[in-house]
Amino acid sequence: MEELKQPGEEGFIRPPLPDRDYDLSPLDRSKPSIHVLVDDVMIRILEHLPVKERILCEIVCRRWQAILYGMFKRTQRLDLSQFNPIKTGRFPQFQCRVSMSAVSKMLILTGETLKYLSLARDGYVPLWVQPIVKYDSTGEKLFLIIAQLCPNLEYLDLSGASELDFDDVKALKDCKHIKHFSAKGCDGLNNDSFQELISALPHLEKINVMSTAIEGRCFNILPAELKELNISDCPLSMRNLRKLSNTCKTLEVLEIEGLRKLDEEFFKQLGVNCKSLTTLNINNGKYAELVHGVQETIEHIVKDFPDLKHFKCNITDPD
């Protein structure tokens, strides 16, 4: 007997979902019961449940399972960054915790229609609070699971997943429709894995890698159609940063807060090559090296951006 493959394993094929009606025993309508409700009403009720509780409802009965499977099969947006805070004392307690095994199951149900997937951890969460998504051993194959189950994905947000392993990020090459990728605050994203990401997804339009370890060595291969880029608080060098304006000439939004050094030549190139900028956010950080005259240069250059609507330039001299 052939061994069944699990999501994340080579050769995994999505199993067909049951598509049949289930017979129910006759109901006594003189007694109140939730089972008297028609499917449309049940769906409206279940839609108000958090994803974790919703997936648990499938064990109630075969009818509920069929209803939930139908709901997930039509889902285009799956946001697992949600949580249910209960105010107790100084901090809220976050109740919603989803294992990667549960994520795999949800992606089996939703993957073919899914366009938006968020496993982000946003906002302030005390260190003693359990993470929203628990990355178990299956989490090591997260990108392969997503590639196998979500062929039409357009938006992927993994922000705050500090322990996530990006070694297999190249598996996303099978997700040819991803346009938006966010890995804000992901410690595991470094120069090598970022280069593999760019090679796997050459048509990205929005990238947020704020507060990661990338230095910009592969900025020369950034997608030519890139429109939004957030590289704030990354250990960037001006040498690598200069590649940016030569590669991404269609940039509309650029955020580079926390630069340790500001270079006049970079901003001159930016003014010449990136005429489509609508938002430019610059903050050199408290301990940055201020190049003489660069602030005046920037203020002069931005006048040449015809579409610039939002400009923030906070440059301070540490002396």
Spell out the per-residue pLDDT of the chain, length 319, in tens.
566 676 767 777 766 655 554 445 565 667 777 777 888 888 888 888 877 677 778 778 888 888 888 887 778 888 877 543 333 344 444 444 556 676 777 788 777 888 999 888 754 333 333 344 444 444 458 888 889 888 899 999 998 877 778 888 999 999 999 999 999 988 889 999 999 999 999 999 999 999 999 998 899 999 989 999 999 999 888 888 888 888 888 899 999 888 767 677 777 788 788 888 888 888 765 444 445 455 566 666 667 677 788 877 766 554 4
Q: Exposed/middle/buried for 209, CB within 10 Å: 0-12, 13-18, 19+? A: buried
Exposure on the CB side of residue 33, measured as CA atoms within 13 A: 9
**Dist. CA 220–CA 211, nearest whole Å:** 20
Cβ neighbours of residue 236 closer than 8 Å, sequence gap 6 or more: 214, 215, 216, 256, 259, 260
Tell me the CATH number for domain 215-319. Answer: 3.80.10.10
**Dist. CA 71–CA 23, nearest whole Å:** 19
* Element spanning 107, H or E: helix 100-110
Identical fold between 76-204 and 215-319: yes
> By the 8 A CB rule, do 237 and 266 touch?
no
Q: What residues form DSSP beta bridges with 155?
A: 116, 180
Count CB-CB contacts under 10 A for residue 41.
11
* Element spanning 137, H or E: none
> By the 8 A CB rule, do 210 and 233 touch?
yes
pTM: 0.76
Smallest Cα–Cα separation from 282: which of 264, 1, 17?
A: 264
Helix (H, G, I), strand (E, B) or coil at 172: helix
> By the 8 A CB rule, do 164 and 136 touch?
no
The architecture that CATH gives domain 76-204 is Alpha-Beta Horseshoe (3.80)
Amino acid letter at 290? L
Token pair for residue 146? 């997503």
Could you state, in order of their start, the residue ranges of all structural domains in the chain?
34-74, 76-204, 215-319
